[in-house]
């Protein structure tokens, strides 16, 4: 896992033998970095595309920010590495989506991350929820893992080449995140009485925030062929989740869905704290570079 | 391996014929400056000393994650945040790798972990200082990782094979860490007045503690002589320290900042760098638990371990169930 380099970007280094290949035509296996996207000429063609990229970016960013708290606090050293890896990957996805979205408004990833107000964020409530115990973290990872896996898979077919390229890279990593969440769901669900009890409680606690993932917005009307409608993902998502939960001797809880409208800037009580922490230093030094 | 520890008995210092042959072979390997491998006979003191040194190193990687993890959520740009996460993750990897290498000496990871939790094992004192500002991420990378590299590069040739090989891999990543630390400071040094001040303040606070990472002067370092005779340690503490000072004395000029050491100079006659007296009383106080963050670091490690107990139990229970299922099938 190498951190992004600050060297001058050379797309040809990352492509398979084709020195002239565009970074937007990245096949799975090629690395598309936020720095590459920043250098491209293409901005999102429409406001709807930029808004869509912003949503994916905000979800990944807030999720990564939450997950970062696990680093040096995991149940075992191997998990410190695994959770850190997920944190880093999600941040990478966020950077790519935000960089792309920002090009529509002449803003950088950092402009969007550090200088927007809470109501301008579009993250869903699920990613804003506290980490809770390890069971809650795993249940959220499972919900989100299946969801992101499906969204990014659909985006491979997107007529927007940049979205498709970012998704291709993200998909390989989310594939691993999902496997990690699934494995732990099995271990905890059929591990000890206590772990099963904690998993049932975590499912009940987080289930209310599932519904928001599948709500269509007016902007999706303008994204035909570009992005999937969230509502079309619901059936398969539920089937995949149910199958994993059954193997883990768990089940979908019977609790009502919450009214959650993060996409239109109405956030959980948690987001204010998350942003306060994330933005504090950058905002103390306006105009500074780091 | 346990038999070796008692071979010869407690009452007699006379070696058994096996031990005598082993000792001869061991001495010959050291004499040839060759490698001791896990299955080779080795003197009990060698095993013990390496177990202590390697596990301390592993513990330092693990505790060392904390001051840096402290800044992940507040990193001032997403790129810096990403580099910092990668760095802390590398440290967890180093810890894991070093624990595995230490296990080849016959002490398992749980035991080593218990030694850390109970306070019987030490870790590098530098991590008991707080990371108060973002510039500390730069100073830790440049000075702390820099000192660690100066210490560790010679350890790549340590006589114990698994340790030497671990060091080769770790040093590669550490030099990336040092470079990114320097980059953080360079960016701050070329930034606003407030940023520049932040960078200078971090260097002022980490300079002396980083120099003390090489340990007390060799005259006061009881283990140094034996460790050098075993080809584990290759250079004296003072020698490594003055070389490191020379290196950073040049690098700090690139930053346009200063080292808080008015006495620092290169002595043409001896070819050595002369630096200020270090406060060894403070060093000893921190080692004994009285540093600013000793209590906090240990509490966090214990808390993570205790809160993870049910997870580890669940994983073992699940593994046992799977095993039983396979046996039935």
Nearest chain A Cα distance for residue B77, angstroms? 6
Residue A16 phi, psi dihedral angles, 5° rounding: -85, 85
Q: Is A192 helix (H, G, I), strand (E, B) or coil?
A: coil
Burial A69-93 (b: 16+ CB within 10 A, else e): bbbbbbbbbebbbbbbbbbbbbbbb
Do A71 and A87 touch, CB atoms closer than 8 A? yes
Helix (H) or strand (E) holding A196: helix A193-206
Flag whether pLDDT at B4 surpasses 70.
no
Nearest chain A Cα distance for residue B31, angstroms? 38
pLDDT digits (tens, 9 = 90+) for B174-184: 999 999 999 99
Do A267 and A121 touch, CB atoms closer than 8 A? yes
Closest C-alpha to A215, from A257, A243, A245: A257
Residues ≥6 apart with Cβ < 8 Å to A285: B76, B191, B192, B194, B195
Q: Is A158 helix (H, G, I), strand (E, B) or coil?
A: coil
pLDDT at B15: 80
Distance CA B188, CA B196 (A): 5
Q: Which whole number is the average pLDDT over A117-143?
A: 98
**Chain B partners within 8 Å of A88 (Cβ):** 82, 85-86, 89
pLDDT at A14: 35
Closest C-alpha to B46, from B60, B70, B30, B66: B30
Cross-strand partners of A261 = A266
Q: Which candidate from B73, B82, B187 shows the least CB-CB separation from A4?
A: B82
Helix (H) or strand (E) holding A167: helix A161-189
pLDDT at A28: 43
pLDDT digits (tens, 9 = 90+) for A222-245: 999 999 999 999 999 999 999 999
Half-sphere exposure of B281 (CA within 13 A, CB side): 0
Cross-strand partners of B267 = B272
Inter-chain touch A1–B62, beta carbons under 8 Å: no
Closest C-alpha to A39, from A10, A16, A60, A2: A10
Say what percent of chain B tops pLDDT 70: 96
Nearest chain B Cα distance for residue A48, angstroms? 24
Residues ≥6 apart with Cβ < 8 Å to A13: none
How many C-beta neighbours within 10 Å does residue B228 have? 14
Closest C-alpha to A25, from A35, A33, A15, A34: A15
Do B213 and B248 touch, CB atoms closer than 8 A? no
**Chain B partners within 8 Å of A250 (Cβ):** none
Distance CA B14, CA B4 (A): 13
Mean pLDDT of chain B: 93
- Identify the closest residue of chain A to B137 by CA–CA distance: A290
Torsion, Cα A185 A189 A193 A199, to 10 degrees, reads 60
Inter-chain touch A77–B65, beta carbons under 8 Å: no
Do B57 and B232 touch, CB atoms closer than 8 A? no
Distance CA A35, CA A43 (A): 14
Using CB atoms within 10 Å of the CB of residue A17, give its burial: 0 to 12 exposed, 13 to 18 middle, 19+ buried.
Answer: exposed
Q: Which candidate from B134, B184, B304 shows the least CB-CB separation from A281?
A: B134
pLDDT digits (tens, 9 = 90+) for A43-71: 999 999 999 999 999 999 999 999 999 99
* H-only helix segments in chain B: 2-6, 17-31, 44-69, 78-103, 109-117, 135-139, 145-152, 161-189, 193-212, 224-229, 237-255, 280-285, 294-307, 309-328
Q: Does B93 touch chain A (CB under 8 A)?
A: yes
Distance CA A155, CA B49 (A): 56
- Identify the closest residue of chain B to A279 by CA–CA distance: B74
Distance CA A57, CA B167 (A): 38
pLDDT at B314: 98
pLDDT digits (tens, 9 = 90+) for B206-221: 999 999 999 998 777 7
- Identify the closest residue of chain A to B297 by CA–CA distance: A72
Mean pLDDT of chain A: 91
Cross-strand partners of B160 = B36
Residue A264 phi, psi dihedral angles, 5° rounding: -105, 25
Do A190 and B318 touch, CB atoms closer than 8 A? yes
As given in the structure block, the two tokens for residue B206 are: 């980490």
Stated length of chain B? 329
Flag whether pLDDT at B5 surpasses 80.
no
pLDDT digits (tens, 9 = 90+) for B109-153: 999 999 999 999 999 999 999 999 999 999 999 999 999 999 999
- Identify the closest residue of chain B to A1 by CA–CA distance: B86
B 280-309 → A contacts, CB under 8 A: 300, 303-304, 307-309
Cross-strand partners of B265 = B274
Flag whether pLDDT at B8 surpasses 80.
no
Do A205 and A132 touch, CB atoms closer than 8 A? yes
Inter-chain touch B76–A285, beta carbons under 8 Å: yes
* Beta carbon pairs, A and B, within 8 Å: 156
Q: Which whole number is the average pLDDT over B243-259?
A: 97
B 143-162 → A contacts, CB under 8 A: none
ipTM value > 0.95: no
Inter-chain touch B134–A290, beta carbons under 8 Å: yes
Residue A46 phi, psi dihedral angles, 5° rounding: -130, 165
Residue whose pair of structure tokens reads 């606690």 in the numeric block:
A205
Q: Is B273 helix (H, G, I), strand (E, B) or coil?
A: strand
Residues ≥6 apart with Cβ < 8 Å to A255: A204, A207, A208
Do B65 and B92 touch, CB atoms closer than 8 A? yes
Using CB atoms within 10 Å of the CB of residue B205, give its burial: 0 to 12 exposed, 13 to 18 middle, 19+ buried.
Answer: buried
Inter-chain touch A84–B88, beta carbons under 8 Å: yes
B304 pLDDT band, cuts 50/70/90, is very high
Do B203 and B185 touch, CB atoms closer than 8 A? yes
Half-sphere exposure of A205 (CA within 13 A, CB side): 17
A161 pLDDT band, cuts 50/70/90, is very high
Flag whether pLDDT at A208 surpasses 90.
yes
Q: Which candidate from B72, B184, B191 shows the least CB-CB separation from A68?
A: B72
Instruction: Give one DSSP letter per residue of B61-117, joined into a string.
Output: HHHHHHHHHTTTTT-SSHHHHHHHHHHHHHHHHHHHHHHHHHHTTT--HHHHHHHHH
Helix (H) or strand (E) holding B272: strand B272-274
Residues ≥6 apart with Cβ < 8 Å to A228: A150, A151, A154, A155
Mutation to test the A interface, candidates B69, B76, B293, B305, most A Cβ within 10 Å: B76
pLDDT digits (tens, 9 = 90+) for B13-34: 678 898 999 999 999 999 999 9
Using CB atoms within 10 Å of the CB of residue B201, give its burial: 0 to 12 exposed, 13 to 18 middle, 19+ buried.
Answer: middle
- Identify the closest residue of chain B to A289 by CA–CA distance: B191
Half-sphere exposure of A82 (CA within 13 A, CB side): 19
pLDDT at A31: 64
Flag whether pLDDT at B188 surpasses 80.
yes
Q: Does B135 touch chain A (CB under 8 A)?
A: no
pLDDT at B267: 95
- Select the more confidently predicted residue: B326 or A261: A261
Inter-chain touch A76–B311, beta carbons under 8 Å: yes
pLDDT at B13: 64
pLDDT at B225: 87
Inter-chain touch A278–B95, beta carbons under 8 Å: no
End-to-end C-alpha distance for chain B, whole angstroms: 37
Q: Which candidate from A81, A95, A285 shows the least CB-CB separation from B89?
A: A81
As given in the structure block, the two tokens for residue B286 are: 């921190």
Do A60 and A151 touch, CB atoms closer than 8 A? no
Flag whether pLDDT at B6 surpasses 80.
no
Helix (H) or strand (E) holding B216: none
């Amino acid at each position: 896992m190498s951190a992004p380099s600050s060297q001058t970007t050379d797309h040809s280094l990352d492509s398979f033998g084709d020195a002239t290949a565009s970074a937007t035509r990245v096949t799975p296996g090629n690395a598309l970095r936020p720095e590459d996207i920043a250098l491209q000429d293409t901005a999102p063609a429409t406001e709807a595309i930029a808004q869509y990229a912003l949503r994916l970016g905000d979800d990944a960013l807030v999720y990564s920010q939450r997950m970062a708290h696990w680093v040096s606090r995991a149940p075992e050293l191997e998990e410190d590495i695994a959770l850190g890896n997920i944190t880093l990957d999600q941040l990478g996805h966020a950077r790519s989506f935000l960089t792309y979205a920002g090009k529509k408004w002449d803003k950088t990833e950092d402009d969007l991350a550090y200088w927007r107000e809470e109501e301008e964020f579009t993250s869903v409530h699920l990613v804003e929820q506290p980490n809770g115990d390890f069971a809650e973290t795993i249940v959220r990872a499972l919900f989100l893992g299946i969801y992101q896996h499906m969204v990014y898979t659909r985006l491979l077919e997107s007529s927007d080449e940049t979205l498709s390229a970012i998704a291709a890279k993200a998909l390989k990593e989310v594939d691993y995140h999902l496997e990690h969440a699934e494995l732990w769901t099995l271990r905890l669900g059929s591990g000890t009485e206590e772990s099963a009890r904690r998993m049932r409680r975590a499912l009940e606690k987080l289930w209310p925030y599932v519904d928001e993932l599948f709500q269509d917005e007016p902007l999706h009307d303008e994204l035909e062929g570009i992005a999937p409608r969230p509502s079309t993902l619901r059936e398969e998502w539920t089937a995949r989740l149910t199958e994993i939960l059954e193997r883990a001797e768990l089940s979908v809880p019977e609790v009502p869905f919450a009214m959650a409208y993060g996409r239109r800037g109405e956030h959980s009580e948690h987001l204010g704290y998350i942003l306060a922490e994330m933005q504090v230093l950058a905002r103390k030094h306006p105009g500074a570079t780091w | 391996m346990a038999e070796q520890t008692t071979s010869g008995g407690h009452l007699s210092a006379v070696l058994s014929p096996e031990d005598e042959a082993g000792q001869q072979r061991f001495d010959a390997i050291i004499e040839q400056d060759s490698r001791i491998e896990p299955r080779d006979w080795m003197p009990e003191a060698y095993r013990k000393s390496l177990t202590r040194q390697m596990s301390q190193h592993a513990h330092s990687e693990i505790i060392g994650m904390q001051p840096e993890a402290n800044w992940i959520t507040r990193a001032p740009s997403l790129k810096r945040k990403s580099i910092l996460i990668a760095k802390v993750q590398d440290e967890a990897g180093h810890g894991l790798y070093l624990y595995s290498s230490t296990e080849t000496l016959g002490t398992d990871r749980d035991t080593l972990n218990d030694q850390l939790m109970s306070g019987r094992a030490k870790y590098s004192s530098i991590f008991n200082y707080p990371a108060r500002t973002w510039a500390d991420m730069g100073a830790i990378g440049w000075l702390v990782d820099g000192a660690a590299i100066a210490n560790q590069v010679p350890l790549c040739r340590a006589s114990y094979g698994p340790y030497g090989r671990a060091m080769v891999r770790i040093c590669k990543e550490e030099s990336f860490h040092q470079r990114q630390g320097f980059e953080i400071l360079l960016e701050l040094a070329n930034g606003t007045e407030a940023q520049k001040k932040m960078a200078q303040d971090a260097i002022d606070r980490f300079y002396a503690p980083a120099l003390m990472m090489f340990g007390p002067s060799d005259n006061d370092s009881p283990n140094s002589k034996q460790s050098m005779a075993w080809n584990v340690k290759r250079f004296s503490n003072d020698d490594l320290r003055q070389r490191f000072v020379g290196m950073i004395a040049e690098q700090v000029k690139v930053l346009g900042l200063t080292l808080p050491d008015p006495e620092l100079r290169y002595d043409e006659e001896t070819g050595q760098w002369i630096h200020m007296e270090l406060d060894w009383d403070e060093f000893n106080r921190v080692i004994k638990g009285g540093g600013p963050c000793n209590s906090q670091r240990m509490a966090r490690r214990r808390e993570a371990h205790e809160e993870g107990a049910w997870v580890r139990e669940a994983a073992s229970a699940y593994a046992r169930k799977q095993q039983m299922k396979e046996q039935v099938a």
